[in-house]
Structure 1
Amino acid sequence: MAKAWTNDRLATGVQEAGIRRIGTADLMLALRQGWDDFRAIPTQLLFLCVLYPVVGLVAARAMSGGELVPLIWPLVAGLSLVGPVAAVGLYEISRRREAGEDVSWLTAFAVLKHPNLPQIAMLGILLMAIFVAWVGVAQMIWSATFGHLPAMGFGEMVHAAFTTPEGRRLLLYGNAVGFVFALLVLVLTVVSVPMLIDRPGVGIGSAISASVQACIANPVPMAIWGALVAALLLLGSIPAFIGLAVVMPVLGHATWHLYKRVVV
Structure 2
Amino acid sequence: MTTLHAVFHQPPSVPHPRVRALGIHDLRVALARGVEDFLAMPTHVVFAIAIYPIAGIVIATLTFEESLIPLLFPLASGFALVGPFAAIGLYEMSRRREQGLVSTWSNAYEPLRARSAGSIFAVGFLLMTIFLAWLVAAMGLYWALYDNASHASVPAFLEEVVTTGRGWTLILLGNLVGFAFSLVALAVSVVSIPLLVDRDIDALAAIETSMAVVRENPGPMLLWGFIVAGLLLVGMLPLFVGLAVVLPVLGHATWHLYRRAVAPP
User: Please, what TM-score do these two structures have when normalized by structure 2?
Assistant: 0.89
* Counterpart in the other structure of 1:116: 116
* Counterpart in the other structure of 1:71: 71
Q: Which amino acid aligns with 1:225?
A: W
* Counterpart in the other structure of 2:229: 230
Alpha-carbon separation, structure 1, partners of 2:15 and 2:249: 29
- Residues 39-75 of structure 1 deviation map (CA, whole Å, 9 limit, x = unaligned): 1112134322x12442233322322x32111112211
- Residues 215-253 of structure 1 deviation map (CA, whole Å, 9 limit, x = unaligned): 111111111101100100011111111111110111011
- Checking the alignment, whether the CA contact within 8 Å between 2:81 and 2:127 is kept in structure 1 is yes
Please state whether the residue corresponding to 2:76 is helix, strand or coil: helix
Q: Confirm or deny that 1:255 pairs with 2:254.
A: yes
* Counterpart in the other structure of 2:159: 159
- Checking the alignment, whether the CA contact within 8 Å between 1:146 and 1:167 is kept in structure 2 is no
Q: Which amino acid aligns with 1:236?
A: G
Q: Confirm or deny that 1:170 pairs with 2:175.
A: no
- Residues 188-226 of structure 1 deviation map (CA, whole Å, 9 limit, x = unaligned): 1111111111112x1011111111111111111111101
Alpha-carbon separation, structure 1, partners of 2:38 and 2:254: 12
Alpha-carbon separation, structure 2, partners of 1:98 and 1:70: 43
- Checking the alignment, whether the CA contact within 8 Å between 1:23 and 1:221 is kept in structure 2 is yes
* Counterpart in the other structure of 1:59: 60
- Cα shift at 1:135: 0.4
Matched residues, number: 248
Structure 1 stretches lacking a partner, 5+ long:
1-13
Query: Judging changes above 3 Å, is the alpha-carbon distance between structure 1 residues 93 and 149 closer, same or farther for their aligned structure 2 residues?
Result: same
Q: Where in structure 2 are the equivalents of 1:28-43 lying within 5 Å? A: 28-42=28-42, 43=45
- Residues 67-122 of structure 1 deviation map (CA, whole Å, 9 limit, x = unaligned): 11111221121111111111111111111111111223443222232210011011
* Counterpart in the other structure of 1:211: 210
- Checking the alignment, whether the CA contact within 8 Å between 1:41 and 1:104 is kept in structure 2 is no
* Counterpart in the other structure of 1:11: none
Q: Where in structure 2 are the equivalents of 1:8-157 lying within 5 Å? A: 14-42=14-42, 43-48=45-50, 50-63=51-64, 65-147=65-147, 149-157=149-157
Structure 2 stretches lacking a partner, 5+ long:
1-13
Q: Which amino acid aligns with 1:123?
A: V
- Checking the alignment, whether the CA contact within 8 Å between 1:161 and 1:171 is kept in structure 2 is yes
Query: Judging changes above 3 Å, is the alpha-carbon distance between structure 1 residues 198 and 256 closer, same or farther for their aligned structure 2 residues?
Result: same
Alpha-carbon separation, structure 2, partners of 1:137 and 1:85: 22
- Checking the alignment, whether the CA contact within 8 Å between 2:16 and 2:209 is kept in structure 1 is no
Alpha-carbon separation, structure 1, partners of 2:223 and 2:24: 8
- Cα shift at 1:150: 4.3
Please state whether the residue corresponding to 1:100 is helix, strand or coil: coil
Alpha-carbon separation, structure 1, partners of 2:235 and 2:104: 24
- Cα shift at 1:168: 0.2
Percent sequence identity over matched residues? Answer: 42
Name whichever of 215-224 and 149-158 sits farther off: 149-158
- Cα shift at 1:169: 0.5
* Counterpart in the other structure of 2:3: none
- Checking the alignment, whether the CA contact within 8 Å between 1:94 and 1:256 is kept in structure 2 is yes
Please state whether the residue corresponding to 2:240 is helix, strand or coil: coil
- Checking the alignment, whether the CA contact within 8 Å between 1:45 and 1:245 is kept in structure 2 is no
